[in-house]
Amino acid sequence: MKLGVIGGGAWGTALAQVAARGDRDVLLWARERDVVTSINRDHVNAAFLPGIALSPSIRATGSLGELSGCDALLVVAPAQHVRAVLAETAVGATPLVLCAKGIEAGTRLLVGEVAQGVHPRAPIAVLSGPTFAHEVAAGQPTAVTLACADAGLRSALADRLAGPGFRPYASDDVVGAEIGGAVKNVLAIACGVVEGAGLGLNARAALIARGFAEMTRFGVARGGRAETLGGLSGLGDLVLTCNSVNSRNFSLGLGLGRGRSAQALLADRRTVAEGAFTAPVLREAAAEAGVDMPVCAAVCDLLEGAPIDAVVGALLARPLKREAA
Ligand SMILES: NC(=O)C1=CN([C@@H]2O[C@H](COP(=O)(O)OP(=O)(O)OC[C@H]3O[C@@H](n4cnc5c(N)ncnc54)[C@H](O)[C@@H]3O)[C@@H](O)[C@H]2O)C=CC1
Ligand SMILES: O=C(CO)COP(=O)(O)O
């Protein structure tokens, strides 16, 4: 199975490295000319994944048309750009493996739903989990959820990607796998705020547990399964990104917690903090589904500039309730 990768950021490059193990050819589309040159000439992605020696069997291209010879495509553009990039790609019935974590603004669609709308004949899979790109690219042990409704395709993709340091777990819950990754980014911002504002480790643990309850409520309301949310793509990724400054979302929150504005923090960054884009659309989607998500709503307020003391005070002053509700 020849794999193509759409997106030459940190995660697309790390996944290309996984797919290239054993000197197998991988074609990676990158939007930036400097990234294409850097990968083809020096076998590094100096812009988005510095310090990692890439397999020479990864070839980069700036032309989406070249991907037409691939047997499956890993889609690793940021969530808000997936529609535009896929619209320019001839896909037909080639399987698409969605690897971005987010919800599309405006439509409130999950990335897999966007892809299905653009290419109705393409089978859809989702790859998600606790996966810092640098660690994956360096071959450090990592496990992911690989979700696909078609058991044959799921197992072919798992066999193609699995290796000593990369272990996919099979699931047929595509929606559940996507929602975990999208929601955890918003919760990671909240945990960064707690760290930046010095609110303590108890508060962070409370946010992880109550945030997980929100993620599960929303995921189940959207048709996912609670057990998927409790797996690698949900709880696993939540634990990772809520506890590390290596997370772009956590570090965005850290800056907010230290009193900087979201606008200033997001300006000029070349890397993506998906939670900043997901938070407002998640607030809308939760309201539409009739799901209470107070922590995620609080992150929206903070991104919009509300003072931390007021936001935290309002969260804690809500009426007391049963934990399981
Ligand atoms: N970095 C990581 O460790 C992981 C990232 N992800 C997800 O992968 C997705 C991609 O993130 P990264 O590879 O980390 O990106 P990145 O932050 O390393 O790089 C930014 C990417 O955005 C692309 N981009 C910017 N403007 C664009 C536009 N107008 N159209 C198309 N592409 C555009 C750039 O070409 C580049 O590939 C995100 O949804 C992220 O949540 C998932 C797992 C791990
Ligand atoms: O999704 C990720 C790890 O699983 C990467 O998290 P950040 O986008 O917050 O860096």
CB 160: neighbour CB atoms within 10 A?
A: 18
Cα Rg for the chain, rounded, in angstroms? 19
Q: State how far the alpha carbon of 49 is from the alpha carbons of 35, 37, 237, in Å.
A: 10, 14, 20
Whether the CB of 192 sits within 6 Å of ligand 2: no
Fold entry, domain 175-316: N-(1-d-carboxylethyl)-l-norvaline Dehydrogenase; domain 2 (1.10.1040)
Ligand closest to CA 78: 1
CB < 8 Å & 24+ apart, contacts of 210-216? 210/295, 211/183, 211/184, 211/187, 211/238, 211/242, 211/295, 211/296, 212/187, 212/238, 214/183, 214/187, 214/291, 214/292, 214/293, 214/294, 214/295, 214/296, 215/179, 215/180, 215/183, 215/184, 215/187
Question: Which pLDDT does position 325 carry in this prediction?
Answer: 62
Please report, in angstroms and rounded to a whole number, the separation of the first and last CA atoms in the chain. 46
- Atom 10 in ligand 2: which residue has the minimum CA distance? 247
9 token code pair = 């950021």
Hey, where are the domains in the chain?
3-172, 175-316
Q: How far is the CA of 131 from the centre of ligand 2 (A)?
A: 7
* Residues 145, 56: Cα–Cα separation, whole Å: 27
Question: Which pLDDT does position 270 carry in this prediction?
Answer: 87
Please check if 274 is assigned to a binding site: yes
* Residues 212, 188: Cα–Cα separation, whole Å: 11
* Residues 323, 82: Cα–Cα separation, whole Å: 37
Fold entry, domain 3-172: Rossmann fold (3.40.50)
* Position in ligand 2 atom list of the atom nearest CA 188: 9
Ligand closest to CA 127: 1
Question: Which pLDDT does position 269 carry in this prediction?
Answer: 85
Would you say 292 and 217 are in contact if contact means Cβ atoms under 8 Å apart?
yes
**Residue 21: closest CA among 131, 161, 130:** 161
237 phi, psi to nearest 5 deg: -75, -30
Q: How far is the CA of 77 from the centre of ligand 1 (A)?
A: 5
Whether the CB of 131 sits within 6 Å of ligand 2: yes
Question: Which pLDDT does position 75 carry in this prediction?
Answer: 99
Question: Which pLDDT does position 34 carry in this prediction?
Answer: 98
Q: What kind and span of H or E run contains 249?
A: helix 248-257
Q: How far is the CA of 315 from the centre of ligand 2 (A)?
A: 25
Please check if 261 is assigned to a binding site: no
Would you say 87 and 53 are in contact if contact means Cβ atoms under 8 Å apart?
no
Whether the CB of 285 sits within 6 Å of ligand 1: no
Q: What kind and span of H or E run contains 324?
A: none
- Atom 28 in ligand 1: which residue has the minimum CA distance? 81
Same fold, 3-172 and 175-316: no
* Residues 64, 31: Cα–Cα separation, whole Å: 9
Considering the candidates 184, 204, 217, 222, report the single residue annotated as catalytic.
Answer: 184
pLDDT in tens, the chain (325 residues): 999 999 999 999 999 999 999 999 999 999 999 999 999 999 999 999 999 999 999 999 999 999 999 999 999 999 999 999 999 999 999 999 999 999 999 999 999 999 999 999 999 999 999 999 999 999 999 999 999 999 999 999 999 999 999 999 999 999 999 999 999 999 999 999 999 999 999 999 999 999 999 999 999 999 999 999 999 999 999 999 999 999 999 999 999 999 999 999 999 788 999 999 999 999 999 999 999 999 999 999 999 999 999 999 999 999 999 998 6
* Position in ligand 2 atom list of the atom nearest CA 130: 4
pTM, two decimals, is 0.98
Whether the CB of 184 sits within 6 Å of ligand 2: no
DSSP secondary structure letter of residue 31: S
Tell which one of 5, 6, 11 to mutate to probe ligand 1, the residue whose CB is within 8 A of the most ligand atoms.
Answer: 11
Is 184 known to be catalytic?
yes
Question: Which pLDDT does position 324 carry in this prediction?
Answer: 86
